[in-house]
């Protein structure tokens, strides 16, 4: 590597460090722009399809924007009343859950695990839970009071609320133009490599973001409807939570299944409803594994569940709510970069050339030589007769 290449790499690393520092510094300001960019990214394929049907970009972006706006507003108008009723129902049934824990669950655990009878005290746990619920309401009222007394806070909140759809529309309208502009700004020597990595990242992001959102929505609707048909009073809330947590494999299933089993035991206490709950989650797993994920997400994502959890926690710790929003897309892009670096490493001299006196290397080379001798000793195929037929 000559001095010019080293200088260019240091410049690229410095540019990347400055970009990361600016994102960390401007995190609260960038949040509405990140949400708008995600909406534009989700709507760009539909706008491209409308363009291929003969519409110009402005009309295609306007139609997609209206559709996204109607979908978001409809989801909010539908979910907010349902969630509020489910939370009220849960708070009203807390005494029943406390009685079941005190008289059924804790004695069973104490008998099986040989614990001290005073290890669990459901009354104190229930009181602490109610206290925290009340404190959450008090904190919310204090925060809302401060925001209402602050003209700057109200102005910023309203600005973000109006800014997201406006920025989303302009990004959706000019998405292809922005991508072409960024492509022209890239160094010509690195443009093919970056374009290849960008296509791979777009493939993974498209499959994960668009597909996983649809999977989460479908599973939330399925679990909520199924548990509601079983008769659980908080079935819809449990189903929505299980659907939202399904971006981590098996996490939504485990949390939703345990919560539904407890709710069925408290509400009914019989084997029939427990079997119905098990049937709902078994069908949900079959639906997710054999229909939703293969059709909507595919098998080329490669994000391990531990990597997903780490990405979300690290993003939230470093960049706050903006980091949570960008955690999974950033993890997908980083995975593409790591695959590329691994391929380059396997082609480098550091990987291909090794010391001849290394016993491990000698053993590997001996095995490779043995395989080569076996392949050479195999009978060769008869030669082809290239003469033309008479």
- pLDDT at res. 142: 46
Question: For residue 223, what pLDDT is reported?
Answer: 92
* Half-sphere exposure in the Cβ direction for 215 (13 Å, CA): 28
Number of domains, the chain? 2
The string of DSSP codes covering 316-369 is: HHHHTHHHHHHHHHHHHHHHHHHHHHHHHHHHSHHHH---TT-HHHHHHHHHHH
106 and 238 share one domain: no
Max Cα separation, the chain? 100
Whether pTM exceeds 0.75: no
Is residue 218 located within the same domain as residue 152?
Answer: no
Those residues with Cβ within 8 angstroms of residue 364's Cβ, 6 or more apart along the chain or in another chain:
none
CA distances from 178 to 64, 170, 199 (A): 18, 11, 15
CA dist list (Å): 5 to 11, 19, 154, 190: 10, 21, 51, 12
Tell me: do 133 and 55 sit in the same domain.
Answer: yes
Q: Which of 177, 206, 233 is the last residue of a domain?
A: 177
Residue of 331, 338, 328, 337 whose CA lies nearest to 38: 328
Q: 305: which residues sit within 8 A by CB, 6+ positions away?
A: 248, 249, 250, 251
Cα–Cα nearest to 259, from 285, 281, 287, 286: 281
Per-residue pLDDT for the chain (390 aa), expressed as one digit of tens each?
567 667 777 777 887 788 778 877 777 778 788 888 888 888 888 899 998 888 888 999 999 989 988 888 887 787 777 777 777 777 777 777 777 777 777 777 777 766 665 555 555 655 655 555 444 444 444 444 544 444 555 666 677 778 888 888 999 999 888 888 888 887 777 778 888 888 888 877 777 777 778 888 899 999 999 998 988 888 888 888 888 888 777 788 888 998 898 888 888 878 888 899 999 999 998 988 888 877 776 655 556 667 777 877 787 777 776 677 777 777 777 888 888 888 877 777 777 765 555 565 566 556 556 655 544 554 544 444 444 443
Q: What is the pLDDT of residue 360?
A: 54
Domain membership of residue 2 (yes or no) is no
Q: State the Cα–Cα distance between residues 240 and 225, nearest whole angstrom.
A: 10
**Residue 210 and residue 122 share a domain:** no
**What are the pLDDT digits (tens) for 179-228?**
888 888 877 777 788 888 888 888 777 777 777 788 888 999 999 999 98
**Burial class for 209, CB neighbours closer than 10 Å (0-12, 13-18, 19+):** middle
Q: Given this model, what pLDDT does residue 390 score?
A: 36
Which residue do the tokens 């909507």 mark? 296
What dihedral angle (degrees, nearest 10) is formed by the CA atoms of 38, 160, 70, 325?
30
Which residue from 264, 215, 209, 213 is spatially nearest to 238, judged by alpha carbons?
264
**Per the domain annotation, does 390 fall within a domain?**
no
One domain for residues 324 and 199:
yes
- In this structure, is residue 370 part of a structural domain? no
Query: Is 223 within 8 Å of 284 (Cβ atoms)?
Result: yes
How big is the chain, counted in residues? 390
Q: Could you give the dihedral angle defined by the CA atoms of residues 204, 206, 207 and 210, in that order, rounded to the nearest 10 degrees?
A: 150
Give a yes or no: residue 144 inside a domain: yes
In a domain, 299, yes or no: yes
258 touches 245 (CB < 8 A): no
Q: Are residues 122 and 45 in the same domain?
A: yes
Of the candidates 106, 142, 127, the one whose C-alpha atom is nearest the C-alpha of residue 262 is 106
211: in domain:
yes
Q: Are residues 101 and 206 in the same domain?
A: no
Where in the sequence is the domain holding 213, given as residue range(s)?
A: 191-347
Same domain, 45 and 136: yes
Q: Centre a 10 Å sphere on the Cβ of residue 86 and count the other Cβ atoms it contains.
A: 21
CA terminus-to-terminus distance, the chain: 59
Provide the pLDDT for residue 280.
Answer: 93
359 in a structural domain: no
Q: Taking the mean position of all CA atoms in its chain, how far away is CA 321? A: 14
pLDDT digits (tens, 9 = 90+) for 269-317: 788 888 999 999 999 989 888 888 777 766 555 566 677 778 777 877 7
* Same structural domain, 126 and 50: yes
* Measured distance CA(109)–CA(29) in Å, rounded: 50
Please tell me whether residues 274 and 299 are part of one structural domain: yes
Answer whether residue 380 is part of any domain: no
pLDDT at 279: 94
What pLDDT is attached to residue 212? 78
Say whether both 160 and 212 belong to one domain: no
- Domain end: 177, 201, 221, which one? 177
Domain match, 334 and 293 both? yes
Boundary residue ending a domain (143, 177, 211): 177
């Amino acid at each position: 590597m000559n001095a010019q290449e080293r200088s260019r790499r240091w410049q690229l690393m410095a540019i990347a460090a400055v970009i990361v520092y600016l994102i960390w510094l401007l995190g609260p300001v960038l949040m509405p722009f990140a949400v708008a960019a995600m909406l534009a990214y989700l709507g760009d394929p539909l706008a491209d399809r409308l363009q291929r049907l003969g519409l110009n970009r402005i009309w295609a972006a306007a139609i997609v924007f209206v559709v996204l706006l109607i979908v978001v507003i409809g989801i909010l108008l539908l979910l907010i009343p349902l969630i509020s009723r489910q939370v009220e129902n849960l708070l009203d049934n807390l005494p029943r859950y406390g009685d079941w824990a005190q008289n059924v669950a804790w004695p069973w655990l104490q008998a099986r695990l040989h614990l001290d009878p005073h290890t669990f005290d459901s009354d104190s746990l229930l009181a602490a839970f109610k206290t925290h619920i009340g404190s959450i309401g008090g904190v919310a009222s204090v925060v809302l009071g401060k925001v209402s007394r602050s003209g700057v806070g109200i102005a910023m909140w309203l600005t973000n609320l109006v800014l997201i759809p406006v920025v989303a529309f302009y990004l959706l309208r000019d998405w292809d133009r922005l991508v072409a502009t960024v492509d022209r700004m890239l160094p010509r020597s690195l443009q093919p490599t970056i374009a290849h990595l960008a296509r791979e990242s777009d493939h993974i992001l498209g499959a994960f973001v668009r597909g996983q959102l649809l999977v989460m929505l479908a599973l939330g609707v399925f679990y909520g409807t199924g548990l509601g048909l079983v008769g659980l009073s908080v079935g819809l809330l449990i189903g929505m939570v299980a659907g939202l947590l399904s971006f981590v494999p098996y996490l939504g299933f485990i949390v939703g299944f345990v919560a539904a089993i407890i709710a069925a035991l408290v509400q009914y206490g019989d084997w029939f409803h427990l079997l119905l709950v098990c049937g709902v989650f078994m069908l949900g797993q079959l639906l997710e594994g054999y229909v939703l994920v293969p059709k909507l997400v595919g098998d080329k994502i490669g994000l391990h569940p531990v990597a997903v959890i780490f990405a979300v926690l690290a993003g939230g710790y470093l960049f706050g709510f903006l980091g949570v929003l960008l955690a999974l897309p950033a993890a997908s892009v980083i995975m593409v970069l790591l695959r590329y670096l691994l391929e380059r490493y396997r082609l480098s001299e550091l990987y291909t050339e090794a010391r001849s006196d290394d016993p491990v290397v000698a053993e590997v080379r001996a095995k490779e030589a043995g395989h080569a001798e076996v392949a050479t000793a195999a009978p060769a195929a008869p030669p082809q007769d290239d003469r033309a037929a008479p």
